[in-house]
């Protein structure tokens, strides 16, 4: 399944966010792949971040990563950069698809 997400950076943290994402920890990459993620892309427009991920089951992925030892420190780092901290409740479905050219 393809899921689109929107997050927002804290003002002035754009460079920090890009620097942190220059190298993703290997254990986090493994955890993401084990949780069914095959692709994750992020675009930035000012403070707005747009994510598109391909994942087997989005809800299952969120559940698997919520307390994963590779994801917990990563989310702590992201909380310092994001305007709204991700609570990993896993009850969202991402952005609503409005239109697609096939």
Tell me the CATH number at 75.
Answer: 3.30.70.100
Task: Supply the range of the domain harboring residue 48.
Answer: 2-79
Residue 89 counted as domain residue: no
Measured N-to-C along each axis, helices 26-34 and 58-66 cross at an angle, to the nearest 10 degrees, of 140
Q: Classify residue 97: in a domain, yes or no.
A: no
Domain contains 93: no
Taking alpha carbons only, the member of 15, 16, 35 closest to residue 80 is 16
Does residue 69 belong to any structural domain of this protein?
A: yes
Number of domain units in the chain: 1
45 belongs to a structural domain = yes
For the four alpha carbons of 19, 24, 28 and 31, in that order, the dihedral sign comes to positive
| Distance in angstroms (rounded) separating the CA atoms of residues 38 and 91 | 21
Provide the residue-wise pLDDT of the chain in tens; the chain has 102 residues. 999 999 999 999 999 999 999 999 999 999 999 999 999 999 999 999 999 999 999 999 999 999 999 999 999 999 999 999 888 877 888 999 999 999
Residue 88 domain-assigned?
Answer: no
Model pTM?
Answer: 0.92
Domain annotation covers residue 95: no
């Amino acid at each position: 399944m393809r899921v689109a997400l929107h997050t927002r950076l804290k003002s002035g943290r754009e460079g920090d966010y890009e620097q942190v994402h220059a190298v993703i920890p290997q254990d986090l990459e493994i955890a993401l792949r084990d949780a069914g993620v095959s692709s994750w892309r992020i675009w930035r427009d000012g403070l707005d971040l747009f994510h598109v991920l391909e994942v087997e089951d989005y809800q299952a992925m969120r559940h698997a990563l919520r307390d994963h030892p590779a994801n917990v420190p990563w989310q702590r780092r992201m909380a310092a950069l994001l305007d709204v901290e991700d609570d990993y409740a896993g009850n969202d479905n991402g952005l609503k698809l409005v239109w697609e050219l096939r």
